[in-house]
Amino acid sequence: MISGVFVDLKKMDENDIELVRQWRNSREVSVHMISKSIISEEQQIRWFKSVKDSASQLYFVIQSKTGDKLGVVNFNKIDSVNGTAEPGLYIGVTSERNSLYGMEAYYLLLKYGFVELKLQKVYGTALASNPTALKMNRSFGYTIEEIIKDGQIVDGVAIDFVKLFLLKEEFYASPMMKFFARSPK
C-alpha cells in the first residue's frame, strides 16, 4: 500500500477486476482511451492473470481514506534496464473526476516509480482531444515530444495524439511535486 494524504494506492487484486472492467467500459472513461473496445468478463480475467505477477506492469486501485475505490493508476512497459515506464491514470467514479484524488494518486505513482523502481524517464500518449490530461501532465513537468495528426481512425473519425515524456529531475522541479511534498503526511 502506498499512502498519501487523501488517497492510498492498493495493489490491484482479483476482488477489484470486475469494478475496474465496469469503469473501463463506461463511456465516461473509454472516451479518453486510445482503445475503445468493450472488455468482456473473460477478457478481463485473462488480462489480469497476465499482469498480476508481471515485472513489466504494475496496477493499483486508488482508494479514498474511507476505503472507497475511485480509479486506477498503473505502470506499463516497465524497463528496469533503461529506467523507463509508461504510467496511466483514470478515475472511475464520475463525481470525483475533478477532485484532488486523481492528482495525488498520479503524484504517488510517479514518486513510487522514480524512487522505488529507480525510473529515470516516464512517457505516454494522450488524446489531443483530452485537454484535462494534457494540462495535468504539464503540471507534473511533462514535455510534449510530438503531436501525431490523424494517428488513428475511430468510428470513421481521425484522432490526433500527443506524445509526452517526463524526466526524473523535471518531476522533482514540477509545481505538483512541490505542492504534494508540502502536504502534511
139, 106 contact by CB (below 8 A): no
pLDDT exceeds 70 at position 67: yes
When the pLDDT of each residue in the chain is averaged and rounded to a whole number, the result is 89
Select 2-182's CATH number: 3.40.630.30, 3.40.50.300, 3.40.50.11540, 3.40.50.720: 3.40.630.30
Mean pLDDT (whole number) for 143-160: 84
pLDDT at 34: 61
pLDDT category at 110 given cuts 50, 70, 90 is very high
Distance of CA 163 to the CA centre of its chain: 15
pLDDT tens digit sequence for 52-61: 889 999 999 9
Q: Say what the pLDDT of residue 83 is.
A: 97
Domains of the chain, by residue range, sit at 2-182
**pTM of this structure:** 0.89
Residue 184 pLDDT exceeds 60: no
Residue with more model confidence, 158 or 155: 158
Taking residue 175's Cβ as centre, other Cβ atoms within 10 Å add up to 11
**pLDDT of 82:** 97
β-strand partners of 74: 59, 88
Report residue 5: phi and psi, to 5°: -80, -45
| Tens-digit pLDDT profile for residues 77-97 | 999 999 999 999 888 888 887
pLDDT score at 36: 62
- Percent above pLDDT 90 for the chain: 56
Q: Can you tell me the mean pLDDT for 147-174?
A: 88
